Structure formats: structure tokens, C-alpha cells
Structure 1
Amino acid sequence: MKKTLWIFSMIMISMLIITCTAIKSKDTSLVNNPYPARTFDPNPSSEYLTPEESMKTFNLPPGYHLELVASEPMIKEPVAIAWDGNGRMFVAEMLTYMQDANASGEQSPVSRVSMLEDTNNDGVMDKSTIFVDSLLLPRMILCVNDEVFINETNSITITAYKDTNGDGKADAKRIVYEDPSYSANDANMEHQRSGLDWNLDNWMYMTYEPIRFRYVDGVLKADSIISGSAGQWGLTHDNYGRLFYSRAGGEIAVQRFQINPVYGALDFKDQYSDEFNAVWPIISTPDVQGGLLRLRPDSTLNHFTAAAGQSIYRGNALPNDLLGDYIVAEPVGRLIRRAKVLNLKGKRVVQNAYYRQEFISSTDMNFRPVNTYTGPDGHLYIVDMHRGIIQQGNWTRPGSFLRKVIDRFGFGDNVGHGRIYRLVHDGYKSQPLPKMLNETPAQLVAHLSHPNGWWRDNAQKELVVLGDKSVVPLLKQIVTGSSDSELSYLAKIHALWTLEGLNSIDENILIAAFDDPNAQVRRTAVWISEPYIRENNAKIMDRLKVLQSDPNYDVRTQLLLSLSVNKKATQPLIDALMAENKNNEMLNATLASLEQTENIKNYGVRLGSLSASDRDHVLKGAEIFRALCASCHGDDGKGLPSKVAPPLVGSRRLLGDKNTAIRIVLNGISGAIDGENYPGGFMPPFGDNSDDWIASILSYARFELRGGPGNFGNFNRVSPFISTEEVSALREKLKSRTTPWTVEELEAESAKDN
């Protein structure tokens, strides 16, 4: 008995050490105040709770509490928010999203963006105006000076709306980006873009689509991301411009945060652990898209499945211990994860800040957090769609595992609600709302050293949009001035990027930044120096040689990335850098990613022997695959660590009979695959897409998997290409079929065809 107690004590001590290590930082308040014991409700009710009732259901760390910022009827079905320079909140509301389990009326253009105001600065919105209506499920929103950029579902067009008479309603609009050749994947609105995050580098990034945008002369100019984008719902960046994506389709809570996607795609298998993937709801969570494979014996979600709406906390109204932490919502689990982002010689890893508990969790079954933000007041904001059904209609079809749960609990009845909360810590002080839209450029420069990242970001954005170069001398003074605090270093970084956005960077200011005592300032200068590297500027190149031995691995990694923009001139320096860092995992992986990106750049050339039609299908299919299929099957077709879907490499159903592959994409597939069960139990149909879309994605995947110029490997030499006509013919034969195929049915149909 004593031996048993001793072992148990050692285990508990070990757990405590692990937990304390995970959350160690400047402020140890969370360590000194242990997290309350995890409660659990095995029989939660799906009944609607008022905001006041719902707020009593939350489990939070000591010292924290939630405050209600807005709720129904002021807002309904909120999915994203953005603040303008004066602190007014704009809320994207998807009024037709899953109003029942059949997604009835989902494509009706009746959604809206509302403008909310806090007129007395008490943290509660007390004035609401419908800013824009008659929208189709708005999914991206960004405030740029006195305009609001909005993107709707099924379109890549971005429209700027403006209120010119001060009544809170947009009365002027203009298109700032459109691509007439764009074809949306309108079969599943989950698999479309989100984000529109104005990053530190003055580029706007989004998920799914392989492009980023630059604000130039009042419109958006697109730049290709050669290796494709990533993510699904939500996108964020940290103080230094590092982007963080998540991919719910692949059950991935965080990804692609090692390097900027314009250089390539880089993830490490151990950038988070299996322990990190596990989630810890405080209620039974039966409405899981992944079915029984994603449930513990107590019916709680066992793994991230709908991770979305991530943010890096960068405010100044919560404990310092939270600064820089990764926050991600899990709406199926009714919880929000907090994770520490650790730097291991340039490689980032994330780990849960708590041992088998979550930062925020609720027993309200309608709590559906879908987005998080650092607000202008320094608090953490949470967008709660507050509804019964959170999954899109492809997953709630009659007969599906999820549909049975929805019907049993009556989740389809809980619609038309929505809440926005802010996370507050005891003893906080209210902060005045910003007035950036009324300030001079010189006044905006002063905000570049603000302790709240929201202020720094928006001041930089306003300065770049205004384009007033009268502040250039002031910005240069910030860069060359003495630094004695973290805020002064952050001000230098923002000043450098503001100069870059104003096209006012010069050699001398970069050289001064190369010598800065702060590693992130040096890294920023290397990043910004790329135009000079492209020109092989002798003065800059000489100074960059010194940085190959920089003591900081982030600087060395950025040096490798930036040198790649002109390998013809920089190859000797790249070789020297790699020789000096031959045992560093981050730099070696970065080099491999750059080489893979180079292969993708040459992809079109390698298709030169194909017919024009086949080549067009493969190129179009490559974009679709990276944006959609990779979410579940992996970028290389070999599957994901989460095993959410089977690998495509070597799949006889994809690579053999053409009709089998077409049948699967048209109608989906259910049940075990080669004796293996996968979460969800089926692949949804994509038959709502065009025949050309289906021909493209299948031609690409079959070509790649048969030893084409990509990475998937070899299979056999049967013609991989599928024509639009072949899809159209089979679609006509299958027009009466409404259910997914089983493997057995596919094999029987293939035997008939042959």
C-alpha cells in the first residue's frame, strides 16, 4: 500500500512539474493559483439559455471572468468581427447558416454586417446599425481606414463599403479585388477562404486560396503563394509577423506557423504532441462529426475536430503570462484552448498551458466559439455563434451519425442567436477607445510603441494606407534610437515595416537595423532587405554575410529564406550558412521547404508534353487539391497524423478504374476503407461542383500518384486524365443516386463496367 501511495505521489509531482513548466513566463499568477478541478456534466441539456444563464456555465482560471459585449437580438449568427480605427465593431453575421439540418435556404443573400458602438466606454455595445445587408454569408471582413472590406461566400471578390453621411449605414461601395476566372467550391462553404489578416509585412493573407494581397493605390494587388495557402476558418499573426493557421477538416488545431507561406509549406511532425491534440470538454459532446472514433467512453470529444478562430493574445489588459499565447476555439467541444508557443533553436512547438484541462470551457451545449481576437481595449474577445448545429450540411445528411444526434437533441431548433464576450481579469482598468481616424500621421506614429498589439497594427496600417511620407524622418528616428524595453523594440519593428509600406526604406536604415541588439529587429531588417538581395546590392550583401553567424536562430532562418529570392547570386552564402548550421533542424527543414517550392514553380514547365486540355486540368486540380483535399489527405497524399481520412498514395479506387474515382467524388464514400475506419465514417459528396472541377481534381491526383512531376510517387502507367465529358456522362447515369457509396458497391459497379 505504501509503495502504491509513493508511486501515486511521484506521478502527481511529475504532473505538477509538467504543468508549471508549460506555463512558465514573466507572470506566474496562474502557477500560484492552481486551476480549479475539472467538472463534468454527463447529461447536459440542449435547451436555450439566456446570456445571463449561459455565463454561469463557464469554467475559467482564477481571476478571470467573462463579460457580455453583445447578444441577440442586437446580433444574430456572428462569425467574425473587426474594429475600425475609432474602435467601432463590425460584425459579420451569417443569417442563413444551417437554419436546419438540411441547410434550407442557406444560399439566400440575406446576411449582413452590423456596426456596434460602445457610446459610454463601459465595454458593452449599446448601439447597433445594419451597416450592409443582402449579403451571401459574409466570411472575410477588414477595416481599412474609413472603409470596410467584405468578402462573401462563393466569391473571391472583395468589396469596400463606406458610410459617407455618418448614419452608420454604408452608402458607397467599390470593388477592390475581383478575378473573373475564379471558380468557387460552392459545394461546401466550410472549404472556402477566411482571414484577410493584414500582417506585419503589409500583406493581407487568407486561408485556402494560394494568393495574398497588397494595398496599392486604393485597390488590392494579388501575389501568388506558390506552394499554396493553408488553414480553414481563422488566421492570425504574432508580434513578429509569424502566421498561424488551423485546419478543422484535418482536425489540426495549428499549422504552418514555422515560416511564411510565400516561401513554402513547413510543418514538423512533433511541433505538437498527441497530448496536445487531446481536448478536455466538461460535458458530454455527442454531436461529433467524427462519430464514435472521436468520443471517449464518457462521450466527451477526445481530439480536436473543429479547431477555428485562432488568435495570439497581444493585449495589455490581462496578465503578462498570457502574452504571446496561442488561443484557439473548439466549437464542438464547447471550449477554448490556450497554448504556449516555445522556441527551440528557431523551431516553434506548442503545448497546452494546462494539464488535461482547457483555458475556457462551458456546459452550455449551444456555446459555439468560432473566433477570438485581441481587442482595442486589450481584452480577449470571443465570438460565440451560439447555436445547436455547427457543422455544415454535407455532414448532417439524413442517415448520418451526426443527423441522428441532431434530431435526438433537437439541435436544429437552436438558431438565430449569438453572443460576443470579452475575457476580463480582476482589477482591470478600462481603457479609452481609439480615435485613429481623426488623428494626424504624427499622432499615429506615437501608437507604434503602444503596449497593445491591436493599436500598433492599426496605426501601422493607417499610416501605410494614408501614404503620408512626412512621418518618414520620425520613423527613422525610432529605428536608430536607443532601446531599453520590449516595447521600444516592437516600435522599431513596426517603424521598419511602416517605412517599407511607404516605400521609404534605404540602405542606411537597414544597416542600422542589422546591428540592433534585438534579434527580432535584426530579423525584420533581413526580411525587408529582399529587394536589395534581388538586385545583388553589394553594400547590403556584405552586411548580410556577417549575419550568417548571428547568435539567434530566427535571424539565421530568415537569412536563409530571404537569400532564396536570388539564389543565383547568393548560393555561396547559402552554402556557408548551411555548413555552419548543418545540425540545426529548423534550418535544414527550411532549406528542404525552399527546394520543394522551387519544384512547384517549375511544375508548369514539366507538364509541357501534355495536351492543352490535360495540362489545364492538372494545373487547376493542383490548386483545388492544395486548398481542399490536403485538409484531410495531406499535402503529399499520404494522409495526416490525425488519420482523419485514408491516404491517397497507392489507392486503387483513385488510380484504377476512372468511373470509380468519379463516383466517389460525385456521391462520396462511407464505411470502412481497406479494413480501416476513419472519423466521420464517410467522405462527403462534391457533386454540386461542375464537371470541369471534378475532372480537374481527379486528373491532378491521378497524374501525381502515377509518378508525375510532384511528390506522390508511382503506381502504373494507365492514362490518368479524366475529361469533362466523362464526368458529365457518368453524372447523368447517377442522377437519381443520393447516398454515398460503400467499397463493396464500388467494386460491384467496377466489375459491371469492365
Structure 2
Amino acid sequence: MRQKNQWLIGIVAIAMLVYTCKVTQSVVQRDENGNIIADKNPNTEPLSPRKSLKKMYLQKGYRLELVASEPMIHEPVAIAWDGNGRLFVAEMNTYMQDIDGKNQMSPICSVKRLEDTNGDGVMDKSVIFIDSLVLPRMLLTLDDRLIVSETNVKHLYSYRDTNGDGVADEKKLIFRNDEVSRNNLEHQRSGLIWNLDNKIYVTYENVRYVYDRVNDVFKTESLIEGSRGQWGLTNDDYGRLFYSQAGSEVPALDFQQNPFYGRLDLKNQYSRDFLEVWPIIATPDVQGGVGRLRPADSTLNHFTAVAGQSIYRGNSLPAVLKGDLLIPEPVGRLIRRAKVINTDGKITLENAYQKEEFIASADMNFRPVNTATGPDGCLYIVDMYRGIIQEGNWTRPGSFLRRQILGRQLDKNIGRGRIYRLVHDDIKPDRTLPRMLSLPSSQLIKYLSHPNGWWRDNAQKLMVVRGDKSIAPQLAAVATTSESELARIHALWTLKGLGALNNETLMQALKDNAPQVRRTAVWISEEEAIKGNEQVIKALDALKRDPSADVRFQLALSLRFSKSETAQNIVKELLALNAGNELMTESQKKYEEGIRTRALADENSKTMTAEEQRLVQRGAVFFNQLCVTCHGADGKGVLNQNKEMPAPPLAGSKNVNGDPEKLVKVLLHGLTGPVEGKVYSDIMPPLGGNDDQYIASVLSYIRKNLAGNNAPIVKPSDVKKVRDATAGRSKFWTWAELNQ
């Protein structure tokens, strides 16, 4: 049977190779007024990869090549390469296999390992690396180990193939957290990004992770406000993180500063109409209903299901693409290319094209959910290729989505999936096959100057994970003498990760000619500044008038948490010198507001019992992980591009401060439709899968700690009474029902 399967996969791979090079993608059609002519009545039946490629529109010179598809892979959601270029694919085999999402938590999902054994760019070998998983959602390669996170649990396990058969036979707990998440799977962690600073970031958490190589475990570091974001997280060459948030229909956020310093978004950080999208196909299956569609052709009018974004950092596509943010929009069946513009440290995003997209498809089942730069320098696109993309909480009986899905039989298309590679007519992909895992650390140093960020990242990560300090002199030489700015940056962070960065190398980096190297040195100095190292703080003082706004802003951030009087005086002087810099002043303003808010919360807590305080404190964590998506961090709501709120404000609300029974019902079973006559762009998903204490904690926090609210806490016993009284309910509440 195994030989037969390998033969079948080989035939599929050959067929893929034959037609991949011949298929040309479509050209977008426009009317006499220049408007896109969208397919208003598209066929919903699944297409072969070849036919689906013919439905793709790409900008001139670009094309897609098929890397893998069914039967080799099914329901792919995330990818990661190890140091030898083998591709791991997380498969959510149980995701929405019917319109109700039955049996989604069955432990039958997989992580596949794919290989291109002949270097032609097409995967021709596949094996199930890990099976019996529950909706695997995050992958991170370390050395020869793969870190995997599953849905509903907070543990992280490492997996390793010790006998060379391609199947993981070693499983170790690398991070333990016994907490079980009962949020719907769209509202759980994603990411697991090993960033430039050797910290590992995820969404929906109030921590970041650090690899402790001595004990071979992950440890956590707290974030003062936690992180937001939903499905997707990426970083650029300089360690800037980009989150996204589908719940509030925001394609990118929290990219102005690292979340360690607090979350920050600025006014006008998107160009005009940036949030408007341009599909080439009618998109009726949108949870926001007809208000999310253009009346003329039923195309999606702005971002909604953003997911799996990445910064292109490779070397096998045009240089003008490098550093751009690629944002998949699976409901719109498109991928946005955003230019990332730095003006005095402030980042703004704008569409690279005028009223059109980088990639768009007229195939109703094209569902791009992830992107990544690969070892060959190309951009890879993960297409879940299915009819339903929304989770079951949004397809319940009576929902707008359910009618659209059943009417078009979108629920019938399951069990497929494709991975594409974006290539350009004028550039050949780099076919060099990585062999990093077998190289000594001393031979990995050369890759720190590689033009493809994938190679630089993996070389740094491997050296840090191995912990070989004997290479420190070579790294110091790169950090101080390399002609490559990025090599100097990576060498500094590798030394920092090894605990081998000496003072001489750091001081020289603080005087480097390249602003981003100086910024890196400031960032690295942060730990010593927080400890109050006056020698380091004095060296940093010389940079408060640095010509680069990026350096000055990082200086203000890195000294933010230092208790040193000298450090705080530098921050004050920086703020005075940069009074006209929106980024620096708004960041400090928000930080100080956070201090006042926490102080007020501490003062209010003095009137509560110890148990009540614990409820509110836990509720704060849950609220900031989940509820801020639609209600805003301050509870005052968030606005999308159309100046509409996805959910009602909670701060100062009479409904929040009143009888808590309504609130308990809403959290248990969800809410749809107008609230007090006002229509909101999203539904309130049910959170009843969480226990009574979770519900009580969230409600106690919003009733006690949001501005204008000061109502009694909600006890777990209060939740239990309502849960028991409404047991068996499967429908969302409406506001009219709640007020009967």
C-alpha cells in the first residue's frame, strides 16, 4: 500500500510539473469607465488546480506555480520549512466538514512533511509527520525539531524524527500551560514567530516566549497590554511585527511599536481607501450581510476575513516587492500588496495599485489563508481551497451566511487544498537546497548576509538554539566589519542570543553609520538599561539627537521601563526635543494613560474581596485577549473604514451597568441583529464553551474597570443559574428576545 501511495504521489507531481509552466493567468476585465467587470454569478463547483490557475488575475510579469495539492495535502492552514528545506504543512482536516462544524475537535488532524527531491520546485514526496492532532494551528521549526500548537490547549510540544523515516517518533513538552481555551477556534492563538530579537510572538496572548536552551523549554515574558491580532502574524527585516484583526475588519495593526512597550495604532496610518478591496468575483458569503457588498456586483467592499499576512523578504522576485506587506483576504478571494512607508518613524500602509489587487481569483473556492517567503526566495501562498471559510458560530440557523452557503452548496467542497509559489517572468527562483542542519555553527555565519531573509533568520535561530559560544569572535567581526547592514544586525542579535555580546562590540554598534544598526544596538541595550547600568545609559544618552527618527523612538522605548533617574531624564528630554513627532508623543501619551488606568483599577480593587479581585484580574486578561477586537481596549468601540462599529460600546453603557442576566445570556449564546435599533457589522459569538468562572470574570471586569462603569461583580453561581435556565438553546439571542 505504501509503494502504491508513493507511486500515486509521483504521478501527481509529474502532472503538476507538466501543466504548471503552461498555465497563464487571466487579465482583469474593465468596462468603459475603468471599473472591474466582476463575475456576478460564479460557478461554485470545485475546480482542478489547472482550471483554478486560469481563474487567477495577477499583476503583469507575475504568475503562480503549483507546489502541492490534493491528494498530497488536505485543508492546509500553515507552513514552515526546516533548515534542510523540508516543508511542514499543518492540516485542519476536521475544520467545517459540514455547515454546523460537527466533530471539529476529533483528534484526526495531521502535520505533513513535503520534500522536493529533484529541485524542480514541485513537491514529490509526502509523509504524515504527526497524526492524531486537534486542529493544529501553529508551527515553528527549531533545529531538527518542530514545535506544534493545537487548538484549545496552551501546551507546546516539540516533535522529532530520530530514525530518519520521516515520521516523528519523539514528542516532548517544551512549554506547559494547563489552561484549556474554549473560545471558538477563530479566537485562539496564531503566529509562533521567532523574531529578530530571539523572542517568539503569538497573537491573543499577554506573553511572548523565549527559548531556554539550558533546560530545553520555552519560558514566558509578560506584555503590559498583551497582544491582539487573530489569524496571522509576520515580521520584517528589522523585527517590526504586523498583526491583523478580522473581527474588527482591520487588515493590519499594532505595527508602530513592539507590543512589549504596549499596543499602539495611529490616526491616518492607512492611506485613503486602503481598507476598500477589489475582488473580481461576487462574494455573497460574507458574515456582515449585504452591507458588506457593493450593490452593483455583490463584490466585497472592504476587508473582513484578513489572515496569514507576511512581509516579502526574498530574492527571487522584483526588488520593488521586497518589504511589502502581502495580506490574504479569503472572503474576497484576493491578496493585497501594501507598500510600507516610513515617515519620521511613523509607518503608513497604502495599496500598491489603484483600485485593484495584486492577486485576485474568480474561483469561488480560492481561500488564501497564509503566505510566507520560502528558501528559494519566492512567495508561497497557502490556499485552503474550500467552500466555507467561516467557523460554525457564524453559520448557525437563521444567519445570513447559512442561507448563502446552502443556496450555493458551498458546504459540499471539503478535503482539498493547494500551495502555490509566486514567481516572476524575469527572475529564476533560487534552487539552492538548504543543508543547514548538518553544518557546524561556524559555517552558518555566512548566511547572515544572504539576500533572502529566510536564510538569515534560520541561520541565526540555529546558532542561538545550539548555544555554541566558540563562534563569538567570528560573529563580532561580522557585527563590526561586514559590508551588509543586515548581516551586522543579525550578528548582533545572534551574539545577544548566545549571551556572548561584549561591551566593545555593542559600543561600536551604537556608533554604526547605518541607522537600523544603531537602532538595533539601542534595542539590545534595553535589558541593561532596565537593570540601571549607568555606563550603558550614558552611551545611549549620546543618541538622543540622532538624525534617525527610528533610533530616537527606539531610545525612548528602550528607556521606558528603566528606574534610573538618568534614563528617565533622557526620555523627558527626548519628548521635549521631538514634541512634533506624532509617533513618539502618542506612544508616551498612551503609556501614561495606561499607568493611570491601572492605578485607578488598583484603587477600585481595595473595595473588593480577594476573590472578587481575582475575578476582575482574570477578566482583564480575557477581555484584552478577545473582546478588544470588536469593543476596543477602552470599551468605547472601534470604527471600521465605513465609520461603523462591529459591536456596541461597553464603557458607560446602561446595559452593562444594569441587570447582568442579559449579559450572561449574550456571552453564553451570542447575539445577532440590531441592538436598541442600531445595526452593527458583526455578531456576538457565543462563549458558552467556557466555564462559569470565565464568563463571570469577563463580565466582572467590564462592569468594574471600564470608564463609566461601576456595577457589582458577577459571580460564577450567577452564570450557572442562567446557563441552567437556558440549557439546550442553539440560536443567537436577539435584542427583542432579551427584552421580552
TM-score tier (shorter): over 0.9
- Correspondent of 1:80 among 78, 82, 86: 78
| Corresponding position: 1:733 with 2:699 | no
1:14 is aligned to none
Hey, what's the Cα distance between the residues in 2 that align with 1:334 and 1:430?
Answer: 26
Instruction: Give the C-alpha shift of residue 163 in structure 1.
Output: 0.1
Deviations 1:387-442 (A, max 9, x none): 00000000001111000000000011000000000000013224211110011111
Judge which range, 392-401 or 591-600, deviates more. Answer: 591-600
2:571 is aligned to 574
1:660 alignment partner AA: K
In the alignment, is the contact (CA less than 8 A) between 1:86 and 1:433 conserved in 2? yes
1:709 is aligned to none
Instruction: Give the C-alpha shift of residue 259 in structure 1.
Output: 0.5
SS at match of 1:377: coil
Identify if the C-alpha distance between structure 1 residues 273 and 502 changes in structure 2 by more than 3 Å, giving closer, same or farther: same
- Correspondent of 1:272 among 259, 270, 273: 270
1:647 is aligned to 649
In the alignment, is the contact (CA less than 8 A) between 2:64 and 2:421 conserved in 1? yes
SS at match of 1:244: strand
Hey, what's the Cα distance between the residues in 1 that align with 2:336 and 2:429?
Answer: 26
Instruction: Give the C-alpha shift of residue 641 in structure 1.
Output: 1.6
1:592 is aligned to 589
Q: 5 Å matches for 1:517-666? A: 517-569=513-565, 570-599=567-596, 605-606=602-603, 607-642=605-640, 643-666=645-668
Hey, what's the Cα distance between the residues in 2 that align with 1:597 and 1:473?
Answer: 43
1:125 is aligned to 123
Instruction: Give the C-alpha shift of residue 674 in structure 1.
Output: 2.7
Hey, what's the Cα distance between the residues in 2 that align with 1:601 and 1:638?
Answer: 17
Judge which range, 494-503 or 572-581, deviates more. Answer: 572-581
Hey, what's the Cα distance between the residues in 2 that align with 1:718 and 1:135?
Answer: 43
1:96 is aligned to 94
| Corresponding position: 1:336 with 2:338 | no
- Correspondent of 1:745 among 717, 737, 740: 737
Instruction: Give the C-alpha shift of residue 684 in structure 1.
Output: 2.1
Instruction: Give the C-alpha shift of residue 506 in structure 1.
Output: 2.1
1:671 is aligned to 673
Hey, what's the Cα distance between the residues in 2 that align with 1:568 and 1:470?
Answer: 34
- Correspondent of 2:498 among 482, 499, 502: 502
Instruction: Give the C-alpha shift of residue 595 in structure 1.
Output: 2.3
2:658 alignment partner AA: G
2:541 alignment partner AA: K
1:20 is aligned to none
Hey, what's the Cα distance between the residues in 2 that align with 1:68 and 1:259?
Answer: 36
- Correspondent of 2:57 among 56, 59, 65: 59
1:724 alignment partner AA: P
In the alignment, is the contact (CA less than 8 A) between 1:263 and 1:597 conserved in 2? no
In the alignment, is the contact (CA less than 8 A) between 1:195 and 1:233 conserved in 2? yes
1:4 is aligned to none
Q: 5 Å matches for 1:173-188? A: 173-180=171-178, 182-184=179-181, 186-188=182-184
1:7 is aligned to none
Identify if the C-alpha distance between structure 1 residues 219 and 728 changes in structure 2 by more than 3 Å, giving closer, same or farther: same
In the alignment, is the contact (CA less than 8 A) between 1:163 and 1:172 conserved in 2? yes
Q: 5 Å matches for 1:336-355? A: 336-355=335-354
Instruction: Give the C-alpha shift of residue 482 in structure 1.
Output: 5.6
1:470 alignment partner AA: S
Q: 5 Å matches for 1:486-497? A: 488-497=484-493
Residue ranges of structure 2 left out of the alignment (5+ in a row): 1-26, 31-35
| Corresponding position: 1:114 with 2:112 | yes
1:478 is aligned to 478
Q: 5 Å matches for 1:224-623? A: 224-273=222-271, 275-297=273-295, 298-431=297-430, 432-481=432-481, 483=483, 488-569=484-565, 570-599=567-596, 605-606=602-603, 607-623=605-621
Hey, what's the Cα distance between the residues in 1 that align with 2:673 and 2:285?
Answer: 19
Instruction: Give the C-alpha shift of residue 183 in structure 1.
Output: 3.4
In the alignment, is the contact (CA less than 8 A) between 2:482 and 2:488 conserved in 1? no
Deviations 1:642-663 (A, max 9, x none): 1222221232222211111111
Identify if the C-alpha distance between structure 1 residues 85 and 718 changes in structure 2 by more than 3 Å, giving closer, same or farther: closer
In the alignment, is the contact (CA less than 8 A) between 1:35 and 1:62 conserved in 2? no
In the alignment, is the contact (CA less than 8 A) between 2:38 and 2:280 conserved in 1? yes
SS at match of 1:204: strand
Hey, what's the Cα distance between the residues in 2 that align with 1:645 and 1:270?
Answer: 22
Percentage identity across paired residues of the two chains:
53
- Correspondent of 2:716 among 703, 713, 724: 724
| Corresponding position: 1:201 with 2:203 | no
Deviations 1:575-630 (A, max 9, x none): 11111111110110121233245457657744244212211111111111111111
In the alignment, is the contact (CA less than 8 A) between 1:655 and 1:661 conserved in 2? no
Q: How many residues align?
A: 699
2:23 is aligned to none
Hey, what's the Cα distance between the residues in 1 that align with 2:523 and 2:594?
Answer: 18
SS at match of 1:277: coil
Hey, what's the Cα distance between the residues in 2 that align with 1:36 and 1:474?
Answer: 56
Hey, what's the Cα distance between the residues in 1 that align with 2:196 and 2:482?
Answer: 22
1:147 alignment partner AA: R
1:190 is aligned to 186
Deviations 1:246-297 (A, max 9, x none): 0111111000001100110100131114501111100000000111111110
Deviations 1:49-70 (A, max 9, x none): 0001100000001110000000
Judge which range, 241-250 or 654-663, deviates more. Answer: 654-663
Hey, what's the Cα distance between the residues in 1 that align with 2:271 and 2:661?
Answer: 40
What TM-score, normalized to structure 2? 0.93
In the alignment, is the contact (CA less than 8 A) between 1:46 and 1:410 conserved in 2? yes
In the alignment, is the contact (CA less than 8 A) between 1:604 and 1:619 conserved in 2? no
Identify if the C-alpha distance between structure 1 residues 35 and 597 changes in structure 2 by more than 3 Å, giving closer, same or farther: farther
In the alignment, is the contact (CA less than 8 A) between 2:285 and 2:331 conserved in 1? yes
1:574 alignment partner AA: V
In the alignment, is the contact (CA less than 8 A) between 1:36 and 1:61 conserved in 2? no
SS at match of 1:370: strand
Hey, what's the Cα distance between the residues in 1 that align with 2:171 and 2:595?
Answer: 40
Hey, what's the Cα distance between the residues in 1 that align with 2:169 and 2:284?
Answer: 45
1:728 alignment partner AA: K
2:611 alignment partner AA: S
Hey, what's the Cα distance between the residues in 1 that align with 2:598 and 2:473?
Answer: 40
Hey, what's the Cα distance between the residues in 2 that align with 1:623 and 1:396?
Answer: 28
Identify if the C-alpha distance between structure 1 residues 428 and 36 changes in structure 2 by more than 3 Å, giving closer, same or farther: farther
1:19 is aligned to none
2:15 is aligned to none
Hey, what's the Cα distance between the residues in 1 that align with 2:490 and 2:587?
Answer: 25
Instruction: Give the C-alpha shift of residue 157 in structure 1.
Output: 0.4
SS at match of 1:637: coil
Judge which range, 620-629 or 647-656, deviates more. Answer: 647-656
Residue ranges of structure 1 left out of the alignment (5+ in a row): 1-33, 706-712, 749-754
SS at match of 1:132: strand
Hey, what's the Cα distance between the residues in 1 that align with 2:251 and 2:209?
Answer: 25
Judge which range, 260-269 or 382-391, deviates more. Answer: 260-269
In the alignment, is the contact (CA less than 8 A) between 2:111 and 2:130 conserved in 1? yes
SS at match of 1:140: strand
1:690 is aligned to 691
Q: CA RMSD of the aligned region, Å? A: 1.5
In the alignment, is the contact (CA less than 8 A) between 2:704 and 2:711 conserved in 1? no
In the alignment, is the contact (CA less than 8 A) between 1:226 and 1:600 conserved in 2? no
Instruction: Give the C-alpha shift of residue 536 in structure 1.
Output: 2.7
